[in-house]
Amino acid sequence: MGTLLIALAAGLGFIIAYHTYGRWLGSKIFRLSAKAVCPSERLNDGVDYVPTSKSIVFGHHFTSIAGTGPIVGPAIAVMWGWLPALLWVVFGSIFIGAVHDFGAMVVSLRNNGQTVGDIAGRVLNKRVRLLFLLILFMALTVVLAIFGLVIASVFRMYPAAIFPCLIQIPIAIAIGVTLHRKGVGLLVPSLAALGVMYFTVIYGNEGVLGDINSAMAGWPLIAWVGVLLAYSYIASVLPVWTLLQPRDYINSLQLISALALIVLGLVAAAVSRGPAPVAGGEAQALEMVAPIVDFDPAHAPLIFPFLFITIACGAISGFHCLVSSGTSSKQIKNEKDARFVGYGSMLTEGFLATLVILACCAGLGMGAKLSFPKEADKPATVMLPDGKTAEITREADGTVVLPPEYAGQGMHLTATNTAVVLTGQTAWNTRYQSWKTSKSLGAKVGAFVDGAANFLKSLGLSAGVAVALMGVLVASFAATTLDTACRLQRYVIQELANTIGGGDASKPTTGPWAVLASKHGATIVAVVTAAAMASLNGTPKPWSVDNAGTGGLILWPLFGATNQLLGGLAFMVITFWMWRRKLPVWFMVVPMIFMLILPAWALLYQIFVQAVGSETSWWADKNWLLIFIGLSALALETWMIVEAIKAWPKAKGVLEENALDQIDTGDLSAESKA
């Protein structure tokens, strides 16, 4: 019951935080008002600025910020123990991540829906704007290049997820067009779409569809990257109501209902024990099999600061400020919806990360198959509860024989003796033997999928359906982040073109920069740049069609620290915006300092001491590309901090030039006090 109590306590904590701290931020600090005219209404263009109901904006925002981050981050960070990971997720979400997302959204709402990077140029200075936009461009290029690889990898691991994910696109377009042109209610189309999607999850891998899924799962990575980036281009230039909004909304329904199933499965496993690991075996008790705290797991970096870099989404992520200020702020039609969308979405993501921790640390112990090496003559290594290792070998005919001394050690043979299912601490120890064996995408996603599927099997679902549901959940989160990131990159490129080309709201950019300031020109650059990086070879093997598409891995080691650094810089912009309006900033300054120091510490550690999960630093490896970009990011941070320190004493109460606030923050209407 302890695992269930953790889930319930975390969920209750998030609800209380939303109705107390979140309400205080909205009414007393940001002074949200239903009377304010939002950018979606004032600048309504039917493409990017579109007034939208808060439930649809929530669906877009939640699925865009979540991605695979709240899954892969917590799934590896539990190596330091489930308690540190859980504490960072819960308290980080409430006091840092949700404040960051909410603040970025409000500042953007008060600045015509502009991104945090654009706003930085006014609240600090024009130099900061250009530097901020450049680092955003680099970060989003890595996201676009890597997420094609992520989605393709998930499809390879779980082919049954391919058709359900692809069918979401025509369903979304049908719903978007129906709602926009015919003005029908949202309830019936939503329920119909949800029913169709779950139908495809259950039956989308049968017969011919199963053959198609298997064939597509075998596509080269570069083919998947090309298809996904082409889709992202289309999603980026179409009006948001056509594809982006409805796809994210129906995705959110599917994903939130999947989370509800995980919770129900958790309850069932806690009350009536979980499924038997093998036919005829005993049902497994739900209990934490991971250590509470482990400050020195094998080959892992220091828990401080790397716990706070490993778990980004789920606690705080700098990428979220781009979604808050890039797409969501252009769709909110009532300023008071910002708390539900900005603060509420982050708490929902925090709860998702909590469930991931429980799936990896308790659900995995209910049963996980042992993975054998591809080579038939190589044994699989199992780590027993006492820390000793055992080697299990398959016979030539594929069967397995367990020596008598392994009886009662959490190893179970299937009826045909062709597979070994591990349970309890043996299952967790084997999956998390060391940082090196656990840091791959397959290991991290697999730990969550196996653990969460065990929860679903406690409800009576078959193993195939349970695994397919979780595979669709992971792939859908990644896909919604990909198309949103492409749209965000388009905004960043357009803002860069306007900055360099001298364009602004009053006059268009002219000359060669005008092409990049256009919707299609900026999107083409975003897609081509990401495709070029992805087409490189990010593996030690010689370049080939099979490993092309892994280029995003080249810069991926930088992403954790630079992403969190972006969060600290976004806090700085929000804090300055508030400081200029004489609003309280103490609750912003503390997390700002925290998120500026930790990423810098992590970057310096990786550059000069030890790269994450390896024995040598980038400096020792002479990895000049990572060294150059990492030191450049640190130089940017230092430059912005110096600019901020210089401007701080003169900024209090002094509105920036061309301030775009739409309400008088000195007055609290009766409505905003509610």
The region of weakest confidence among 19-23, 43-47, 400-404, 506-510 is 506-510
CB 454 within 8 A of CB 233: no
- Confidence (pTM): 0.93
* d(C-alpha 25, C-alpha 32), whole Å: 9
Kindly state the average pLDDT of the residues 236-242.
91
Confidence of residue 506 (pLDDT cuts 50, 70, 90): low
Confidence check: pLDDT of 529 > 60: yes
> Quick one: average pLDDT of 363-370?
93
Q: Cα-flanking dihedrals φ and ψ of residue 362, to 5°?
A: -125, -50
Average pLDDT (515-538) is: 92
Neighbours of 20 (CB within 10 A): 11
Report the percentage of the chain scoring pLDDT > 70: 96
Whether 669 has a pLDDT exceeding 80, the answer reads no
662 has pLDDT over 60: no
Q: What is the mean pLDDT of residues 285-307?
A: 92
Q: Is the pLDDT of residue 509 over 70?
A: yes
Length of the chain: 674
Does residue 474 carry a pLDDT above 70?
yes
666, pLDDT greater than 60: no
391 by DSSP, 3-state: which? strand
Q: What is the arithmetic mean of pLDDT over 8-28?
A: 97
Angle (CA) 197-199-201 rounded to 5° is 70
The strands making up 368-369's β-sheet, listed across from edge to edge, are 368-369, 420-422, 411-413
Work out the pLDDT band at 664, boundaries 50, 70, 90: very low
Would you place residue 504 in the very low, low, confident or very high pLDDT band (cuts 50, 70, 90)?
A: low
Mean pLDDT of the chain: 89
Other C-beta atoms lying within 10 Å of the C-beta of residue 5 = 10
pLDDT of residue 672 exceeding 50, the answer is no
pLDDT of 69: 86
Among 7-16, 585-594, 648-657, the minimum mean pLDDT is found in: 648-657
Lowest mean pLDDT among 30-44, 75-89, 587-601, 611-625: 611-625
Nearest CA-CA partner of 477 in 149, 64, 170: 64
**Which run of H or of E encompasses 632?**
helix 624-651
